[in-house]
Amino acid sequence: MSLKKLIGMAAMVALTVLLSACNIGTTPAPTQDVGLIYTQAAQLVATQFAMQQTQTALAIPPTALPSPIAPAIPTFPVATPFGASTPFGGSTPFVIVTQPGGFLPTSTIMALATASGPVCDHATFVSDDSIPDGTIMKPGNSFDKTWTIKNTGTCTWDDGYVFAYLGGTLGGYDIKIKNRNDFVAPDAAISLTVHLNASLAPNTYQECWSMRNDKGSYFPDSPLACVKIVVQK
């Protein structure tokens, strides 16, 4: 081998060693992970979409909820209490229309009782033999009023039953059935008389009575009998 070749080979070896020495300690470039890049891109798109939806929702005004509607409260008729005043200033326990003779119609009540079967406590007006309705009296006059009524129920009117006064200004009162001789069996009739006084104030007065059983309950055909007078000076 010639000296020139040896010198050339030595130079090449030296150059190679020198280049290797220059690259010692240098960190090689990292290799890019393609899958990781796709994942990060997808996360970025999802985040941007969520932000867009939030901004859209905030831009839409909220829908007002319907106000609750309070349920309608049913109303019921108020019954006229005992002793209420009449339009013409007298006293009457009911707002009623009477037949001649001072009593209420019982045909409708009898029909209802028959349709539903016999009832224990029931009375029917029979007659009114004194003081016709509309009789004119002087203030303070005394008079007697008599009615005849019939037991049309299935129970006997015995101790505790009452021909009850329903209130007013003529001085009326209850007639209590106490004595055995006064008991009223079914289909039997009884005459009842009350002593009354005309009011001192001129006016028209109407007052009524009804039967009440020994338990304190009024018969279904209440009121049963009434008196109506006109007080004039």
Q: Provide the residue ranges of all domains of the chain, joining segments of one domain with +.
A: 107-231
86 pLDDT tier (thresholds 50, 70, 90)? very low
Q: Which of 140, 164, 147 is nearest to 102 (CA)?
A: 147
| Cβ contact 164:212 at 8 Å | yes
Q: What is the pLDDT of residue 79?
A: 40
| Cβ contact 192:149 at 8 Å | yes
Q: pLDDT of 210-230, one tens digit each?
A: 999 999 999 987 778 999 999
Q: What is the pLDDT of residue 107?
A: 41
Specify the range with the lowest mean pLDDT, choosing from 88-97, 122-131, 220-229.
88-97
Q: What is the pLDDT of residue 168?
A: 94
Specify the range with the lowest mean pLDDT, choosing from 48-52, 131-135, 161-165.
48-52
Residue ranges of E strands in 130-202:
135-137, 142-151, 162-165, 175-176, 189-197
SS3 content of the chain, % helix, strand, coil (to 5): 25, 25, 50
Q: What is the pLDDT of residue 99?
A: 39
Q: pLDDT of 168-184, one tens digit each?
A: 999 999 999 999 999 99
* 215 CA to centre of own chain: 30
Q: Which of 143, 146, 186, 188 is nearest to 163 (CA)?
A: 146
Instruction: Measure the CA–CA gap between 123 and 108, rounded to whole angstroms.
Output: 13
92 pLDDT tier (thresholds 50, 70, 90)? very low
Burial 62-73 (b: 16+ CB within 10 A, else e): eeeeeeeeeeee
Residue 9 has pLDDT above 90, yes or no: no
- Higher-confidence residue: 233 or 115? 233
Q: Which of 229, 209, 206, 225 is nearest to 131 (CA)?
A: 229
| Cβ contact 150:189 at 8 Å | yes
CATH of domain 107-231: 2.60.40.10
- As a whole number, mean pLDDT of residues 100-117 equals 46
Q: 219: exposed, middle or buried (C-beta count within 10 Å: 0-12, 13-18, 19+)?
A: buried
Residues in the chain: 233
Report the sign of the C-alpha dihedral through residues 93, 99, 101, 107, in that order: negative
- As a whole number, mean pLDDT of residues 5-11 equals 54
Q: What is the pLDDT of residue 202?
A: 96
Q: What is the pLDDT of residue 104?
A: 45
> What are phi and psi for residue 167, nearest 5 degrees?
105, 155
Residue 5 has pLDDT above 80, yes or no: no
Q: Which of 208, 133, 135, 136 is nearest to 170 (CA)?
A: 208
Q: What is the pLDDT of residue 77?
A: 45
Q: 0.75 exceeded by the pTM? A: no
- Report how far apart, in Å, the C-alpha atoms of 12 and of each of 2, 3, 16, 17, 200 are: 16, 14, 6, 9, 157
Q: pLDDT of 19-74, one tens digit each?
A: 554 454 444 545 555 555 556 655 655 665 566 665 655 555 555 555 556 555 54
Q: What is the pLDDT of residue 117?
A: 73
Q: What is the pLDDT of residue 116?
A: 62
